[in-house]
């Protein structure tokens, strides 16, 4: 496992995504494609992905899984993948493609990937952001899903939510990864945060990503930060995460819109924060206890039709 905390979290998050995606994709279709593009130094991602697929050989009978690995010309990926490829059944074909994300549309067409499940992992932690064309090529899957990593240069170049919507992804979640040391400094005070973005056409896939996000092992040395949190507070990775940022965002939404139902606030949480729908109730409970919001009716279970509104002091 990589020593760098951020890379460690990225590896585990990708492995969890693949563990869920591969069985679902191969039950939905007789063929599926995973495409990985790495724009920076090698971090072992391709090998880690192949090891995940080797665990799902029982699902591959009568089906075809294509793995596309795009890398720079000088990369020794073919040599490093040799031993891991030997563990794969014949139903899995691995293709090494020379180039960056801009070769992705051509590589996916050559693999006849369109019209079947596609998951793309595009790591732009260093270097430029992928283009609209590269993202749209992944969106051509049925379904198409992408896990996108953006470093400082790529974030400056790409309005990712707008571009992903234009590419054909209506559902987007994003989270900032920071290491434990950088997280204790001011936002501009050092460290190299990376933004992880997941985009999909399926609501249940968005829910699964949020669950995977908080299931990453504790003690990695990395923390999460919600890009929408005006205070840019980082929180520990935990199955029961601290909800202060979520409370602020929910309260801001209530001030903006006025009274909302618990169901509406749960929907806001999934679509606009790093948190899961289930975290909404914990946040509302905390705000009620602090007197920042009120509820109607005043007692009973926090059912979906309970109305929450901000107090004058909130």
Question: What pLDDT score was predicted for residue 217?
Answer: 77
> Taking all residues of the chain, what is their mean pLDDT, rounded to a whole number?
89
Question: Over the stretch 119-161, which tens digit does the pLDDT of each residue have?
Answer: 999 999 988 999 999 999 999 999 999 999 999 999 999 999 9
Question: What pLDDT score was predicted for residue 24?
Answer: 93
Give the highest mean pLDDT range of 82-91, 179-188, 301-310.
Answer: 301-310
Question: What pLDDT score was predicted for residue 183?
Answer: 44
Question: What pLDDT score was predicted for residue 74?
Answer: 55
Kindly state the average pLDDT of the residues 76-93.
77
DSSP per position, 289-300: HTTSEEEESSSS
Out of 3.40.50.720, 1.10.3720.10, 1.10.10.410, 1.10.10.10, which CATH number does the structure's domain 244-310 have?
1.10.10.10
Question: What pLDDT score was predicted for residue 41?
Answer: 61
Kindly state the average pLDDT of the residues 96-105.
92
Question: What pLDDT score was predicted for residue 59?
Answer: 84
Question: What pLDDT score was predicted for residue 87?
Answer: 80
Give buried/exposed letters for 254-277 (b at 16+ CB in 10 A, else e): beeeeebebebbbebbbebbbbbb
CATH architecture of 5-236: 3-Layer(aba) Sandwich (3.40)
DSSP assigned state of 39: -
DSSP per position, 198-223: EEES-HHHHHHHHHHHHHSPTTSSEE
Kindly state the average pLDDT of the residues 44-54.
83
Residues belonging to the chain: 314
Residue 189: which pLDDT band, with cuts at 50, 70 and 90? very low
Question: What pLDDT score was predicted for residue 56?
Answer: 83
Query: Which two structure tokens, joined as six digits, stand for 261?
Result: 């139902």
Question: Over the stretch 194-238, which tens digit does the pLDDT of each residue have?
Answer: 999 999 999 899 999 999 999 997 778 899 999 999 899 999 999
The pTM of this model reads 0.90
User: Is 100 a residue whose pLDDT tops 80?
Assistant: yes
User: Is 185 a residue whose pLDDT tops 50?
Assistant: no
Residue 149 CA to residue 45 CA, distance in Å, equals 13
193 φ/ψ angles, rounded to the nearest 5 degrees: -65, 150
Angle at 283 between CA 282 and CA 286, to 5 degrees: 90
User: Is 187 a residue whose pLDDT tops 70?
Assistant: no
Domain 5-236 and domain 244-310, same fold? Reply is no
Question: What pLDDT score was predicted for residue 233?
Answer: 94
Question: Over the stretch 271-307, which tens digit does the pLDDT of each residue have?
Answer: 999 999 999 999 999 999 999 999 999 999 999 999 9
Question: What pLDDT score was predicted for residue 309?
Answer: 97
Residue 118 CA to residue 214 CA, distance in Å, equals 24
Where are the chain's structural domains? Answer: 5-236, 244-310
Query: Which two structure tokens, joined as six digits, stand for 264?
Result: 């509406």
**Contacts of range 252-259, beta carbons closer than 8 Å, 24 or more positions apart:** 254/293, 254/308, 254/309, 254/310, 254/314, 255/310, 255/314, 258/309, 259/296, 259/307, 259/308, 259/309
Kindly state the average pLDDT of the residues 21-43.
87
Residue 79: which pLDDT band, with cuts at 50, 70 and 90? low
Question: What pLDDT score was predicted for residue 184?
Answer: 45
User: Is 29 a residue whose pLDDT tops 70?
Assistant: yes
Residue 42: which pLDDT band, with cuts at 50, 70 and 90? low
Portion of the chain with pLDDT greater than 90, in percent: 71
């Amino acid at each position: 496992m990589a020593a760098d905390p951020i890379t460690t979290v990225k590896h585990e998050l990708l492995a969890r995504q693949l563990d869920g995606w591969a069985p679902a994709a191969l039950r939905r279709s007789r063929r599926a494609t995973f495409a990985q593009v790495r724009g920076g130094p090698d971090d072992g991602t391709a090998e880690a992905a192949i090891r995940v697929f080797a665990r799902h050989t029982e699902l591959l009978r009568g089906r075809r899984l294509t793995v596309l690995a795009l890398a720079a010309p000088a990369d020794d990926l073919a040599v490093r993948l040799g031993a891991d490829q030997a563990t794969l059944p014949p139903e899995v074909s691995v293709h090494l493609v020379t180039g960056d994300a801009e070769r992705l549309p051509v590589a996916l067409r050559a693999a006849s990937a369109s019209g079947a499940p596609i998951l793309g992992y595009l790591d732009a932690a260093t270097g430029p952001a992928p283009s609209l064309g590269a993202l749209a090529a992944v969106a051509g899957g049925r379904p198409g899903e992408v896990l996108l990593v953006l470093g400082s240069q790529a974030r400056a170049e790409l309005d990712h939510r707008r571009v992903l919507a234009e590419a054909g992804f209506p559902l987007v979640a994003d989270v900032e990864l920071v290491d434990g040391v950088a997280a204790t400094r001011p936002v501009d005070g050092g460290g190299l945060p990376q933004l992880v973005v997941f985009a999909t056409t399926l609501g249940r896939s968005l829910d699964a990503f949020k669950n995977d996000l908080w299931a990453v092992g504790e003690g990695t040395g990395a923390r999460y930060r919600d890009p929408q949190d005006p205070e840019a507070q980082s929180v520990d990775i935990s199955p029961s995460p601290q909800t202060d940022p979520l409370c602020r965002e929910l309260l801001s939404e209530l001030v903006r819109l006025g009274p909302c139902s618990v169901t509406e606030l749960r929907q806001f949480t999934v679509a606009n924060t790093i948190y899961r729908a289930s975290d909404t109730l914990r946040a509302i409970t905390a705000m009620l206890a602090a007197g920042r919001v009120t509820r109607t009716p005043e007692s009973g279970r926090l059912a979906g039709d309970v109305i929450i509104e901000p107090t004058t002091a909130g």
